[in-house]
Structure 1
Amino acid sequence: MTTDQQNPSALPAASAPAPSWGQRFWRFPLTRIVLAVFITALSVGLTMSFFSSLAGETKRIMWPELLGAAAALVSYYAYVRLFEKRPVAELSRAKALRELGGGLLLGVLLVAAVIGLLALAGSYRLTGVNGWSVALLVPLAEMILVGVFEEVLCRGIVFRITEGSLGSWLALTISSLIFGLAHAPSAQSSPLAIAIAVVAGAFFAAAYMMTRRLWLCIGIHVAWNYTLGTICSVAVSGRESRGLLQGELSGREWLTGGAYGLEASVLTLLLLTAVGVVFLSKARARGHIVAPSWPGLRRG
């Protein structure tokens, strides 16, 4: 008996059949991105439409948005399990509450830091307080929907799938540009506002890279929008807001952000860049930087 007959593992393994055209099509990153975005967006739209028509006027205030946010998470989870056939690590319950809570706190602190710097520069003055009411909770539902939906789409789908093929750095660049251009249609938008939105996209991608989960990104996104608009009464991406505090912004538009809000302020640009660099350095230290998988982009 020969050695190969005695040890079947020594026999040459049969080569796996080449994937068909259809298999290559469904595995192609752009196909996966389009499919995942379609499934997620459709589920959110249908959920909000259904519950808005089902609920009465009083119940329509917050529930459609909250259920829409839940639909975004559930549909994304279902897409990953059914089409990618893997555990959904980016929505893992491990550390979810800690990272979500940490993100909410960080979002509040980032807004407070920008407002504080503007106050020190004489460009922000607190003029009064409108007083607390339950009505201040209503915008929170919309901010939860926006935070969850945009992070699932931009980081969970676009960044993550692109990263699997092109690596972390190209994925960060591409997803950040898409995120920035998505904020361009606002009438109050400016080149500086779009540039800061691009940096914000890189900032959120860095937060995802650091944790490899979406919870921190979602927390920061929700808290930033809610604190900026509903607490500080500052425009959010060009949309005027009225909330708890009354304040006045004055000074150069590049400093205050003008009608677009603090998301067009150079102070926001500097702050997001600084914190984003910290996130990226931690991601690198944890070995979370992904190399390109496409042969043409590999080193050596």
Structure 2
Amino acid sequence: MVVIGSAGVLAPGKWRWLRALGWLVLLCVAIVIVFNLVAKAMLLLLVWAGGLQVTQTSPAPAAYRLVAAIAGSIALVATYWAAVRLGERRTVPELDLRRAPSDLLLGLGVGAALLTTVIGVQWSFGWVIIEPRTVDRVALALRDSIRSGVLEELVLRLVIFRMLWRAFGIWPAIAGAALLFGALHLANPDSSPFAAACLIAGEGIGIGLYLITGRIWSAIGMHAAWNFTQGWIFGAAVSGITEIAGGPLALRPAPGVPAVLSGGGFGPEASLAALIVSLLASGALLFWAWRNGAFVALDA
């Protein structure tokens, strides 16, 4: 069950909802700044230690960028833990490391299975073409999958969703976090209102996993596996980004098929198949969480 927090900055009293929103902003800013500072510092250190000359046309090796993203991810998790301990005056069970391995495996399986189902539906109806290719890289795919999984899920679940829940209740929190996630992707290449709607439909998956386990790890695993499966294994665009392809397959929209069916340049997650699969998965996980009583948070 999720611990929502009721001490320190979130203690009962006047303007609690406003204090929760202020804490939301402060946590988001701190987490993003720490991630970027630590990742960039680690990358500079690796480049310096390797004696490399990095330019715009000759970037740092992909392995260096992967290590930098891992360092930044560890730093942002530590920042959240320290901030909650100090600001909310409580333990942080949502980051329980003892359950992290099993939770991550659960999330990885869910994310990979759901995305494979989406692409399987598209391929079976002839909306996309899948061809084999030579595997030539993986580090960038791992970097982007880890970065998006840790950064986006921690910010969206543990900060935005949890603080909106504290301020306004669980249903406004679910709606607010989902709408924000979709809106943030409208600026991506080849995005559209339909693509945003597909992403909004899938937000219940990460929220449901967080509610069911009371921890963030399964949501992180799901998000990372979704992106890795889509971008590296199937070689498709991920939210309009194409740089992480390099795996055994190459997916492209079938000629003449509307983007609403193929996903177009945004990727399979912006397709009718993704919309349906995401809605079904979100509904199932949220219903499971509700039946288990997870819609009632612990105030510890």
Q: Please state which band the TM-score falls in when normalised by the shorter chain.
A: 0.7 to 0.9
| Alignment-derived partner of residue 214 in structure 2 | 212
1:46 CA displacement:
1.2
Who is 1:277 aligned against?
283
**What SS does structure 2 have at the residue aligned with 1:238?**
coil
Per the alignment, residue 190 of structure 1 pairs with 192
Among residues 96, 100, 110, which one is paired with 2:100 in the alignment?
96
Matched, 1:243 2:246: yes
Residues 173 and 202 in structure 1, CA contact (< 8 A), matched pair in contact too: no
Query: Offset at 1:138?
Result: 3.2
Residue identity (%): 30
**What is the distance in 1 between the residues matched to 2:103 and 2:16?**
36
Q: Which residue of 2 aligns with 1:9?
A: none
Aligned to 1:287: 293
CA contact (8 A) 2:21 2:167 kept: no
The Cα of 1:94 is off from its aligned counterpart by: 4.1
Alignment of 1:75-154 (within 5 A): 75-131=79-135, 133=136, 135-154=137-156
Amino acid of the residue matched to residue 41 of structure 2? F
Residue 115 of structure 1: CA displacement? 1.4
Higher relative contact order at CA 8 Å, sep ≥6: structure 1 or structure 2? 2
CA distance in 2, matches of 1:285, 1:213: 18
Could you say which residue in structure 2 is the equivalent of 1:169? Answer: 171
Give, in whole Å, the separation in 2 of the partners of 1:65 and 1:94.
23
Change (3 A) 1:23 1:55: farther
Unaligned runs of 5+ in 1: 1-18, 294-300
Unaligned 5+ segments in structure 2 are: 1-9, 48-59
When the two structures are aligned, how many residues end up with a matched partner? Answer: 271
User: 2:260 maps to which residue?
Assistant: 254
Shift of the alpha carbon at 1:166?
Answer: 1.6
Within the candidate set 210, 215, 226, 1:224 is matched to: 226
Q: CA deviation at 1:197?
A: 1.7
Q: Which residue of 2 aligns with 1:31?
A: 22
Structure 2 CA distance, aligned partners of 1:247 and 1:178? 28
Corresponding letter in the other structure for 1:256: S
| Higher Cα Rg, which structure | 1
The whole-number CA distance in structure 2 between the counterparts of 1:27 and 1:123 is: 47
Shift of 1:37: 0.9
What is the TM-score of this pair, normalised by structure 1? Answer: 0.84
Aligned-residue Cα RMSD (Å) equals 2.3
Inter-partner Cα distance in structure 1 for 2:86 and 2:40: 25
Pair 79,61 (structure 1): closer, same or farther in 2 beyond 3 Å: same
Instruction: Look up the match of 1:10.
Output: none
Deviates more, 1:30-39 or 1:92-101: 92-101
Specify the code of the residue in structure 2 equivalent to 1:180.
G
Contact 1:66 1:142 in 2 (8 A): no
Helix, strand or coil for the counterpart of 1:279?
helix
Q: After the TM superposition, which of the residue ranges 241-250 and 208-217 deviates more from structure 2?
A: 241-250
